[in-house]
Structure 1
Amino acid sequence: MATSKKPSTTWATVTTLKETVNTTLNFVAHHLVMGADKIYLFFDDPNDAAIDIVSKNPKVHVVKCDEKYWASLEVPRPDAHQARQKANVRNCYGFAETDWLIHLDADEMVDADGVVVSKELSTVSDPVVRLQPYELMYQPGGRANNNFRYVFKGAIPQTRQGRRIAEKVYTPFHECLSLGFLSHVEGKFFVKTGVPDLIMSIHGPYMEGVRNRGETAVNMKLLHLHGGDFDEWMDHVKYRLEKGSYRPVNQKRIMRHQGIENTLGGVLQGLYDDRGDEGLKEFHQTVCTFGKSKRPLRRVGAIYKTNLWLDEKREDMFGKSSVLKNFGHDSETGAIEMDGAWGDVTMRLVPHDNYTERCIAIGAPAEAQEMQEMIKLASKKRVLFYDIGANAGVYSLQIAKAGKKTSRIISFEPNPVMIKRLKRNIDLNKFKNIKVVPKALGEEKGKVHLSLGKGGNLGQAAIDGDSQQGIEVTLSTLPSEMISPKGYDLSMLKIDVEGFEASVFKPMFENAKDVHWPDYIMMESAWNEDWDMDLVGELGKIGYTDHFVTKLNTIFKLEKN
């Protein structure tokens, strides 16, 4: 007897907003890519220019908060923004069509890069799931390490170590900050719909008159874009001091135990009164700006780097030209994916866990100079190319494109995750002359453990013969995998195996006269002092000379006598 397939868990966002068109479109595009089944938007301005644009998407439910709307709720339009938010959230909870609902501001993004939101929610027994907040920091240089566009700070734990770090990082303003934050520390809450006697609210629902904060999600975050450069930040500060949460009436309610001058609003107002913009610039630099002084936050897990691709998602989803296209998320892992191009080659990119793909996605491909030289060498020739450590296929694809269709590319990649991406990129470009060999190369044949890359970079997966960690992969030798270069105009080899290069070449030197030495070899020669042999020197004895040198890599040419 056939069993029916269990329906997937659905989720939606609800937001009251009056924002720029691009801010609204960024919010919608991001959450649809994340897999939201419905986006409920309550527009404070019934004539908002974004309404006509977002209404065309069947997953977006628009409510114009005009006089007719408020009359339907049988309440006058509340003057306070938070009161309007609360009314709209509770109204939406009554008619939401999804299993879960989360209230968000337009500058708040659900982040679950690496997990599927619906799958995470399907495993929860509690009707409430809290997303821990992370607050955006400004980056003067534009990008953090490893080409992440955004850096967020998390809450500093209330431990002795946490208090020491808060004082070190945020002095002299640490006492007016709540866990190091400018904004709310509560986070936002996924709430299961259809729960009797549950009253939805902005920060956590109430059940039987008591706020239910539920369980805190491990694999999902709330990213609060509460930051930006000084001018952008100043606009928000002035509004909050005059009309928002930094007003004395709100600060007294939040921190009754302190004198008003010691609250966040009091400190900001005092700085502005005493020193004007210069005083606030000092605060922005100390509290809101990412740099070396914020490194101690890493010790307590309070730094998070990511790329949200907000502008690119918006342009892709709403019909404008974008370098990155066809955004989506992997239905198994939740990883955000998109199509990107480098020259005439298209790749399906998964930037969050691979530096190479991330570089292409941001428009700054790694090893661009070396790649262009390799392309020039292979152009319009029948090439035999060995790609050792093929990763997602950047070199394999480019050489296949540059050379004749009768070229042959042999790509070695032992990591199953990267093999899948490599094959997908080969199919995407319809190349028929690339052979994927799912093996690592070393000194002998057998099995070996591959330690997977850390720190968001699968490209750093490496052979670790002494470790039982990672995954077991097949190990072969380079000479046994090579074929005769006869009939080819040119033979080339690129190797990038995270410091294991010497082990790959050792079998070649053992039978140097009997192996097929390629015309060109490209490798990361900066490793040479770390290897247990002088690989560059040994290649020189074979007849290789420097052809093209960069800071990290060298392309060697075999001089034939």
Structure 2
Amino acid sequence: MVNSWSVFSQVRETRPVLERFVNHHLELGASYVHLFFDDPDDPSFAHFALQPGVIAERCGPQYWDGLNRRRPPYVERRQILNGRRAYEQCLTDWQAHVDADELIVSNAVPLGDALSRVPNGYQTAHMRTIEPMQSDVHPTVPFRLPIVHLKFRTRQHIYGPDLAHFKSGVFGHYQGKSFLRSGLPGWGHGIHFPRPTEDVTNVILRMTDVRVAHMHCENRELWADRTLGKIRHPQYNMRTGGFTYPLPSLQTDTPAEQIPDTILRDELLSFFDRMNVLSPDLQRRLEPYNLLEFHNVKVMA
């Protein structure tokens, strides 16, 4: 029997990004998409609240008063509380927590079929992270996989000196995202993996034919601008991401705030081109280790 599934997301994105997110998952077979608007005054709310297949909620003061008595200051805590609400209201066999810039992809089999094959003893079906690369020669979008499972010598062969600043092999998170089986008392969604009750072990199936495509680096200029903003943010720790500062060609330990934006941005763009443009040479280094896949998804210009 084919299993039903849904996704939820706490969102603060442009309408085109949200439209892609919603339409992609509904077309993939989701029973519905549950959106939590982190900005209660988001002008896109009215549009999605009326769209078939979408549950839309405003996360304003009244919402948080009823859910938690106050709005948590950290986005991750808000995601976890919204995930608890989404799971308590879940109407499908499985539910996944994915961000608005993430798209579930499954080229091999319909997703409902893949989930129906998860043995009953498994509460979690995990999806590996992939990231889009840029290419003018391939009809579908190339995606790179993380390299954290490979030996150091292999990782160094693939990325050379840049490995010091690209340790996981992706710009963003490498932990992936998960589907949680519905109807488990006391369980809730986490950021990457579900949160079980204290006395239960989370049994995880690693899915081999389903991925979560993290689309945050699909646009070269936007990625550089966002990353520059993170470098400039006084409370942002660059070591939590897929790369570290200082970047290689700067060859300096000068604090980021003392380096002009133009120099930092040029370095970021150069780094992006080396890591994320699928040259024939990079393709030859990725393919022997099954680090390259192709999927048909919509890329935002």
TM-score, normalised relative to structure 2: 0.86
> Mapping of 1:406-417 within 5 angstroms?
none
- Please name the residue that 2:192 is paired with: 203
Match of 1:166 among 149, 155, 159: 155
SS of aligned partner of 1:186: coil
SS of aligned partner of 1:171: helix
- Please name the residue that 2:214 is paired with: 224
Contact kept, 8 Å, 2:10 with 2:79, in 1: the verdict is: yes
Report deviation, 1:51. Answer: 1.9
Match of 2:127 among 118, 125, 131: 131
Report deviation, 1:243. Answer: 4.6
Output the CA distance in 2 between the equivalents of 1:76 and 1:306.
Answer: 41
Output the CA distance in 2 between the equivalents of 1:213 and 1:285.
Answer: 39
User: 1:207-244 CA deviation, whole Å, 9 max, x = no partner?
Assistant: 24477361111221111112134311112212333459
Match of 2:182 among 177, 189, 193: 193
1:12 equivalenced with 2:6 (yes/no) = yes
- Please name the residue that 1:40 is paired with: 34
Kindly provide the amino acid, as one letter, of the partner of residue 81 in structure 2.
Answer: A
1:181 equivalenced with 2:170 (yes/no) = yes
Report deviation, 1:91. Answer: 1.7
> Mapping of 1:22-421 within 5 angstroms?
22-125=16-119, 126-139=122-135, 141=136, 144-145=137-138, 147-148=139-140, 150-156=141-147, 158-160=149-151, 163-209=152-198, 212=202, 214-243=204-233, 247-248=236-237, 251=239, 264-268=243-247, 271=250, 273=259, 275-295=263-283, 296-309=285-298
Report deviation, 1:114. Answer: 3.4
Larger relative strand fraction: 1
SS of aligned partner of 1:172: helix
Contact kept, 8 Å, 1:169 with 1:286, in 2: the verdict is: no
Output the CA distance in 1 between the equivalents of 2:88 and 2:216.
Answer: 30
Q: CA RMSD in A?
A: 2.6
Report deviation, 1:310. Answer: 6.2
User: 1:3-30 CA deviation, whole Å, 9 max, x = no partner?
Assistant: xxx6x42111010111111000000000
Contact kept, 8 Å, 1:137 with 1:228, in 2: the verdict is: yes
Cα distance 1:279–1:111, how it changes in 2: closer, same or farther (>3 A)? same
Output the CA distance in 2 between the equivalents of 1:211 and 1:264.
Answer: 32
Kindly provide the amino acid, as one letter, of the partner of residue 95 in structure 1.
Answer: Q
Report deviation, 1:85. Answer: 1.4
Contact kept, 8 Å, 1:205 with 1:213, in 2: the verdict is: no
Output the CA distance in 2 between the equivalents of 1:212 and 1:242.
Answer: 38
SS of aligned partner of 2:211: strand
Kindly provide the amino acid, as one letter, of the partner of residue 237 in structure 1.
Answer: T
Output the CA distance in 2 between the equivalents of 1:80 and 1:154.
Answer: 29
Output the CA distance in 1 between the equivalents of 2:219 and 2:50.
Answer: 33
SS of aligned partner of 2:96: strand
Cα distance 1:247–1:215, how it changes in 2: closer, same or farther (>3 A)? same
Contact kept, 8 Å, 1:137 with 1:288, in 2: the verdict is: yes
Kindly provide the amino acid, as one letter, of the partner of residue 134 in structure 2.
Answer: Y
Contact kept, 8 Å, 1:189 with 1:203, in 2: the verdict is: yes
- Please name the residue that 2:253 is paired with: none
User: 1:236-271 CA deviation, whole Å, 9 max, x = no partner?
Assistant: 212333459x923x73xx59xxxxxxx834234994
Cα distance 1:205–1:230, how it changes in 2: closer, same or farther (>3 A)? same
Output the CA distance in 2 between the equivalents of 1:74 and 1:276.
Answer: 41
Output the CA distance in 2 between the equivalents of 1:90 and 1:77.
Answer: 15
Contact kept, 8 Å, 2:4 with 2:93, in 1: the verdict is: yes
TM-score, normalised relative to structure 1: 0.48
SS of aligned partner of 2:42: coil
Kindly provide the amino acid, as one letter, of the partner of residue 308 in structure 1.
Answer: V
Higher normalized contact order (CA 8 Å, seq sep 6+, divided by chain length): 2
User: 1:20-42 CA deviation, whole Å, 9 max, x = no partner?
Assistant: 11000000000000000010000
Residue segments in structure 1 that go unaligned for 5+ positions in a row: 1-5, 256-262, 312-561
Choose 1 or 2 for highest CA Rg.
1
Output the CA distance in 1 between the equivalents of 2:266 and 2:91.
Answer: 50
User: 1:449-487 CA deviation, whole Å, 9 max, x = no partner?
Assistant: xxxxxxxxxxxxxxxxxxxxxxxxxxxxxxxxxxxxxxx
Cα distance 1:243–1:102, how it changes in 2: closer, same or farther (>3 A)? farther
Output the CA distance in 2 between the equivalents of 1:276 and 1:200.
Answer: 37
User: 1:342-389 CA deviation, whole Å, 9 max, x = no partner?
Assistant: xxxxxxxxxxxxxxxxxxxxxxxxxxxxxxxxxxxxxxxxxxxxxxxx
Output the CA distance in 2 between the equivalents of 1:309 and 1:234.
Answer: 20
